[in-house]
A and B are shown apart, each in its own frame.
Chain A
Amino acid sequence: MDFIFMQLAGFGGAMVDLVVDPLTYVYLISSVFLGIAFGALPGLTATLAVTILTGFFSNKIPLDYSLIALLGAYVGAIYGGSYPSILLNIPGTAASAATAMDGYPLAKAGRGGEALGLTTTASFIGTVIGTFALLIFVWVLLLVSKNIASPEKALLALFGILLSGTLMSEDLVIKGWIAGLVGLAMAMVGLDPLLSEPRYTFGWSYLMSGFQVVPVLMGAFAVPQIIEGLRHVQAGQLTEFSDRIIPRMSAIKKYLPTIGRSGLIGTGVGALPGVGEDVAGWVSYGVGKTVSKNGKKFGKGSLEGLLSSETANNACIGGALIPLLVLGIPGSPPAAALMGAFKINNVIPGPTIDPEIILRVVAILVLASLTMFIMGLFTARIFIKILRIPQTVFLPIVMVLTTIGSFSVGGGINDLYLMLGVGFVAYFMNLLKYPIAPLVIGVILGGLFDETFRRSLLISDGDMSVFISRPGAAILVTLNVALILSQLPATKRTFKWMKGRLV
């Protein structure tokens, strides 16, 4: 218990530091605004917002401030996605796809203002729930993680790649795994981490340092998104509304149980490696539909359904940062971009990370969600105007920004070729409905997997039993095997058959 108080005191200190620094507000207000705008514009995602800011800020301003910008944009963008979901029936980000199910029917019924107001409140409460989970659980995990050695790290990395592949694919799970393995293979390029032997470099010295995270992120997330956005210009009909935005306390009170439940679900999904806000939204929506007394109304304009997904996707942010800060395993695609920012600043997330950074992240998240809340309630009409900007205008601008951002990280012109190459491949993967997120997670976790897997074997003199003799490793092996087996057609049939017998 002491320790929770100690945490809260540390958080208070970090908060005061932020609040008294006037520069905080400059970064905070502009980044949250930018984030909401990015989220609100269909075709621009939270991942893209954080990635572009990583390219622009992370090596130019001190980490303390670039964190404000990145986290502010992250929180803003996840929330901003709800605008077009509700008003246009076009999800602004994948994270808000579930929001459109109930948000749009509400808007059509003339309750758009009410929907936006409640969504804003729920996003705020969700972010705060996720943030406090981060504050408490990061320490529990940090204590445990002191005992996490190479075998566990290798298995966790593999689990992250497989899990991301399983949950992020649209149709066939195997496609997600393939994308993850492609990423893993890309991570092999460069000087190998143990013996410094060049691998797959073809004598080109640029490749010796491997594929850099930021250009890969830019290529994978920005380029296909922009091409796709320009190919199919979505011109939704903006639904007008006239009711008030600022929600009534009674309504918030009524839905507090839903908000609380969705917040916890979102945080939990966020904490899973490589699974992001979109999955959090859908899972919470699904759970809400099953548990709620009014589950039948979901999809027909239910406020409960709307809040289920919108709370969860924001709560996911705090959750996603837990594995990132403790283990260096990003919990969601935007967190992968944050990881890039940490790397550029030589901060290595892990058991010996500076506790100040964690406290600062928590304080920033709380301030960012508050900023988002105030902006959402009082300047919502500005964001609705942004929805009217045609994609053909803003997407080319974003492409230019992406290019500059990618180049300015400092890797030279080759980074741009890498970005375009990855973007080209990612675009065709998108067309074939291969998910891109597992690929990026593969690139980031693949290096970790390669290094820790081989190091485990080096220490054990090639004895594979090191992966089952340690209790932590044994659990992780079981999880990995179960995950793979659960997706095999034979197992699926067996389960179906058993289910049939039971009923």
Chain B
Amino acid sequence: MKLTLNKIAVAAMVVGLGTAATAQEYPYRDITTAVVWGAGGGTDTINRMIMAEMEKHLPVSINVINQTGGVAGSNGLVYVENQPDDGYTLVGLSESNVTAAVQGGWDKKFDYWYPFIVGGSPDLISVPANSPYNTLEELVDAAKAAPGTIPAAASGAGSIHHLNLLAIEQGAGATFKFVPYKGSAPGQEAAIAGEVALVVTSLAEQAALIEGGQLKPLAMLTPETAEIAGATIPSAFSVYDGLDKYLPLKQAIGFAIHNSASDDIKAKLGAAFEEAIASDTVADWASANNYDVGGQYGEEAQALFSTLESTFAYTLKDLGATTVDPMSLGITKP
């Protein structure tokens, strides 16, 4: 009997809260965005920028906090998962978070989220300034002559940069010796020190080193070329046919809300997001920092993340770095 009473009490409270919530239109109080990566990093910077823009088109303020740690940012994912899906807690995330599930950080497929993609920086392949290789062909030919001996840096195993390295290997038919680094900066430093012969990271991360003449860019891993330091970096797509089967694999940095949030919340955030993405601030920021603006959200963004999720999951599985079988989570092969 006591149990039933409790249930009634809970039900009454839920109903009460429900009516209170519908009485006022979303959003009526401040929104919090929990970024799963550290302050000062790419995801953090982008979220702080886009939230400041979105605020202008919403009647409330948005606070950005950081909830870091766990596996592939799982602490922050779990934190937001445990908040109600009322659109008042957003999660700031990036493509790297799609591996949280297969690495045992949490137990949800990525379509748990309703993502908004602000953008990402394209990956490219570079060599130290004093490297004997001047074009991508020379490098690939050298790798074909001695498979698996030329050391290549590309952040950690299973990172977006590692996936790009694997893709160019498959597309060009060459094998390098993959040397993992904790993050892009140490990998780039290793290339400058001559410890590795090439490095695959994003243009945003390499820009200062290319401009300073410490790294020599060989090819963009996107169909487009890029302009930097008064020169044009050719696209790897113009060198090897059929790369489009594997590439481009681009960063997707942005934020998300619970997919279970109401359509009204999704529409309101979507409208503010569209306005923010179209602003000059975002355009200026993107060109100054070598980022491409995305702007996808909702189902379109879910499709992009789902591709990234399956590519990441099965690459990690092949590397033996998954603790959870992607199949058991319902992630299908790419």
Chain A: residues with CB nearer than 8 A to chain B?
A: 59, 63, 146-150, 191, 193-198, 203, 205-206, 208-209, 212, 343-348, 350-352, 410-412, 451, 455, 458-459
Nearest B residue to A409 by beta-carbon distance? B68
Q: Give 18 pairs: A residue, B residue, CB < 8 Å, sorted on A.
A: A147-B194, A195-B157, A195-B180, A196-B103, A196-B180, A196-B316, A198-B323, A206-B69, A206-B70, A208-B105, A212-B69, A345-B39, A351-B193, A352-B189, A352-B192, A410-B65, A410-B68, A455-B179
Contact string against A for B residues 57-84, beta-carbon threshold 8 Å, 1 for contact and 0 otherwise:
0000000011111110011000100000
What residues of chain B lie closer than 8 Å to A193, measured between beta carbons? 156, 180, 182
- B173: Cβ under 8 A from any A Cβ: no
Nearest-neighbour CB distance to chain A for B160, whole angstroms, equals 14
On whether the beta carbons of B195 and A350 are closer than 8 Å, the reply is no
On whether the beta carbons of A350 and B185 are closer than 8 Å, the reply is yes
Please report which residues of chain B, range 185-199, place their CB below 8 angstroms from some CB of chain A when the two chains form the complex.
185-186, 188-190, 192-196
Chain A-chain B contacts (Cβ-Cβ < 8 Å), number: 111
Partner of B189, one of A59, A344, A350: A350
Partner of B192, one of A198, A212, A351: A351
What residues of chain B lie closer than 8 Å to A148, measured between beta carbons? 193
Please report which residues of chain B, range 164-220, place their CB below 8 angstroms from some CB of chain A when the two chains form the complex.
177, 179-183, 185-186, 188-190, 192-196, 208-209
What residues of chain A lie closer than 8 Å to B156, measured between beta carbons? 193, 196
What residues of chain B lie closer than 8 Å to A150, measured between beta carbons? 190, 195
On whether the beta carbons of B179 and A205 are closer than 8 Å, the reply is no
What residues of chain B lie closer than 8 Å to A149, measured between beta carbons? 190, 193-195
Please report which residues of chain B, range 133-162, place their CB below 8 angstroms from some CB of chain A when the two chains form the complex.
151, 156-158
Given contacts A147-B193, A347-B40, A410-B68, is CB(A205)–CB(B74) below 8 Å?
A: yes
What residues of chain A lie closer than 8 Å to B180, measured between beta carbons? 193-196, 455
What residues of chain B lie closer than 8 Å to A459, measured between beta carbons? 151, 177, 179, 195-196
What residues of chain A lie closer than 8 Å to B194, measured between beta carbons? 147, 149
Nearest-neighbour CB distance to chain B for A343, whole angstroms, equals 8
Chain B: residues with CB nearer than 8 A to chain A?
A: 37-41, 44, 65-71, 74-75, 79, 103-106, 151, 156-158, 177, 179-183, 185-186, 188-190, 192-196, 208-209, 316, 319-321, 323
On whether the beta carbons of B192 and A195 are closer than 8 Å, the reply is no
On whether the beta carbons of B40 and A352 are closer than 8 Å, the reply is no
On whether the beta carbons of B69 and A350 are closer than 8 Å, the reply is no
On whether the beta carbons of B188 and A344 are closer than 8 Å, the reply is no
What residues of chain A lie closer than 8 Å to B41, measured between beta carbons? 346
Nearest B residue to A353 by beta-carbon distance? B185
Nearest-neighbour CB distance to chain B for A348, whole angstroms, equals 5
Given contacts A410-B67, A411-B69, is CB(A196)–CB(B195) below 8 Å?
A: no
What residues of chain B lie closer than 8 Å to A412, measured between beta carbons? 67, 69, 75, 79
On whether the beta carbons of B71 and A194 are closer than 8 Å, the reply is no
On whether the beta carbons of A191 and B38 are closer than 8 Å, the reply is no
Partner of A348, one of B179, B183, B190, B195: B183
Given contacts A345-B39, A410-B65, is CB(A458)–CB(B71) below 8 Å?
A: no
Nearest B residue to A198 by beta-carbon distance? B323
What residues of chain B lie closer than 8 Å to A205, measured between beta carbons? 70-71, 74, 104-106
Q: How far is the CA of A345 from the CA of B186 in the complex (A)?
A: 16
On whether the beta carbons of A345 and B38 are closer than 8 Å, the reply is yes
On whether the beta carbons of A209 and B69 are closer than 8 Å, the reply is yes
Partner of B71, one of A59, A191, A346, A351: A191
Q: How far is the CA of A156 from the CA of B209 in the complex (A)?
A: 26
On whether the beta carbons of B104 and A350 are closer than 8 Å, the reply is no
On whether the beta carbons of A59 and B186 are closer than 8 Å, the reply is no
What residues of chain B lie closer than 8 Å to A194, measured between beta carbons? 157, 180
On whether the beta carbons of B68 and A411 are closer than 8 Å, the reply is yes
What residues of chain B lie closer than 8 Å to A63, measured between beta carbons? 39-40
By Cβ-Cβ distance, the 10 closest A-B pairs, closest first, are A346-B40, A149-B195, A346-B41, A208-B71, A345-B40, A209-B69, A346-B38, A196-B321, A149-B193, A194-B180
